[in-house]
Amino acid sequence: MSLSYNEDVTPELLRVIHPQDYISALALHNVRGDGRQFDAMRPLELALGTVSSAEGSATARIGNTTVVAGAKVEIGAPLASAPGHGFVIPNVIITGGSSSEAGRLAPSGLPSDQAQVLSKRLADYLLQSGCVDMSQLCVHEGQCVMVVYLDIVCVAYDGGLLDAALAAAVGALRDLALPNITFDTSTGTASLQAAPAGAQPRRLTLRSVPMSLSFGMVPASASLAGQATDSPLARPLLLVDPTADEEVVSTGVGSVLSLGSDRWLGFTLAAGTVVGGATSAAVRQVEPRGFGLLSLLNDAVCAGVAARRAALLKQLSIV
């Protein structure tokens, strides 16, 4: 085979200097860098209420990726077009220390390109899934609504950031204790009231719990062209829940968003298309229309996202 290197090249060295060959070499043995199968995902851990200065907070961990989400509530006058609706404003912050390159990619204080894309996608997911009924954030219709600033800080990055960010965002919304704000119509001022001792804080009702699963597409290894067609490398590889290393060699990274057992919100590819709400069957029906990559969206991915969503639900219900 052509994947031959000098004996001096240890696997660790190969990982650094030729990441694609490293993954290909492992793929020949049907295994990934961290020992997972191609279609296996890393477990999701979620802890709620991790930051006490935020009204709602959650820490999500997927493998080595750690994100902390915190929600702060502010008030303002609503838009005339939606007088009874508040807002949830998610922003992803990729800290300089989260990965070896993150601190160098973005000048301090500015979100990197990746963070901007993730913030947008997260906002789309939260909005389109209709997870929060915005009328719950109304203090006084037409006068005062709450705005939930949801800041998601990535402190350690090893792939699957969108999934972790979404889980943490949902967790922080679930944990959010809405402040007891009263609006005085005579003076037009809103004021924060102390919660009566022992009273349960008002929490948001989540209409749905969205969860996503990332996948990466590794192209067929050129160096292995001519191999037997049953080799795992003869076709493009679909890696479920890729790590940062695997994301680097993937030509396409996307994610599937699930809202329920057979309810799909859609999926995105690196280009950022969101295919509108559809069922898994509908997703697969798009296939003949030329989405070659879609053929890779096999049942494993569909099952995977359902399983991860189940895990999220379980962790949320622990609270």
Partner 1 sequence: MADKRRICAPIDTVPPVGNPRQPCTAASGRLGGRDAMAVRPIFLETDVNPQATGSSLLEMNGTKVICSVYGPRQSHRRQPFRDTGVIDVEVLTSPFAGTHRLAPGKNAQDGELAALVEQALLPSLRLDTFPKLSVDIYIVILENGGSVLPAAINCATAALASAGIPMNDLAIACNTVSIAASAPASGADQSQQSLWIDPCLEEEASPDLAGSMLVTYMPTLNETSLMISTGSAPPTQVTEAFHTCLAGCLSLHKTIVECLTRDA
* Site membership for partner 1, residue 129 (CB under 8 A): no
* Site membership for partner 1, residue 203 (CB under 8 A): no
Distance between CA atoms of 100 and 191, rounded to whole angstroms?
45
Q: Which amino acid is at 91?
A: N
How many residues bind partner 1, per CB under 8 A?
Answer: 57
Give whole-number Cα distances, 301 to 213, 280, 282, in Å: 8, 10, 15
* Site membership for partner 1, residue 268 (CB under 8 A): no
The helix (run of H) or strand (run of E) holding residue 76 is strand 65-76
Contact yes or no for 291/266 (Cβ under 8 A): no
* Site membership for partner 1, residue 51 (CB under 8 A): yes
Min. distance of Cβ 307 from partner 1 in angstroms? 24
* Site membership for partner 1, residue 4 (CB under 8 A): no
Considering beta carbons, is residue 111 or 277 the nearer one to partner 1? Answer: 111
Considering beta carbons, is residue 90 or 210 the nearer one to partner 1? Answer: 90
Min. distance of Cβ 252 from partner 1 in angstroms? 23
Retrieve residue 109's tokens: 């204080």
* Site membership for partner 1, residue 187 (CB under 8 A): no
Distance between CA atoms of 162 and 164, rounded to whole angstroms?
5
Residue holding tokens 């800080």?
Answer: 153
Among 27, 44, 151, 242, binds partner 1 (CB under 8 A): 151
* Site membership for partner 1, residue 77 (CB under 8 A): yes
Considering beta carbons, is residue 52 or 229 the nearer one to partner 1? Answer: 52
* Site membership for partner 1, residue 64 (CB under 8 A): yes
Retrieve residue 266's tokens: 């859609």
Considering beta carbons, is residue 154 or 249 the nearer one to partner 1? Answer: 154
Min. distance of Cβ 116 from partner 1 in angstroms? 6
Give whole-number Cα distances, 53 to 57, 61, 69, 87, 194, in Å: 9, 20, 12, 20, 16
Distance between CA atoms of 184 and 262, rounded to whole angstroms?
46
The Cα diameter of the chain in Å comes to 82
Give whole-number Cα distances, 24 to 17, 219, 305, in Å: 13, 10, 25
Region of 118-126, 205-213, 232-240, 302-310 interacting with partner 1 (CB under 8 A): 118-126
Residues making contact with partner 1 (CB under 8 A): 51-54, 57, 64, 66, 68, 70-79, 87, 89-91, 93, 95-100, 103-104, 108-111, 116, 119-120, 123, 145, 147, 149, 151, 153, 155-158, 179, 181, 189-194, 244
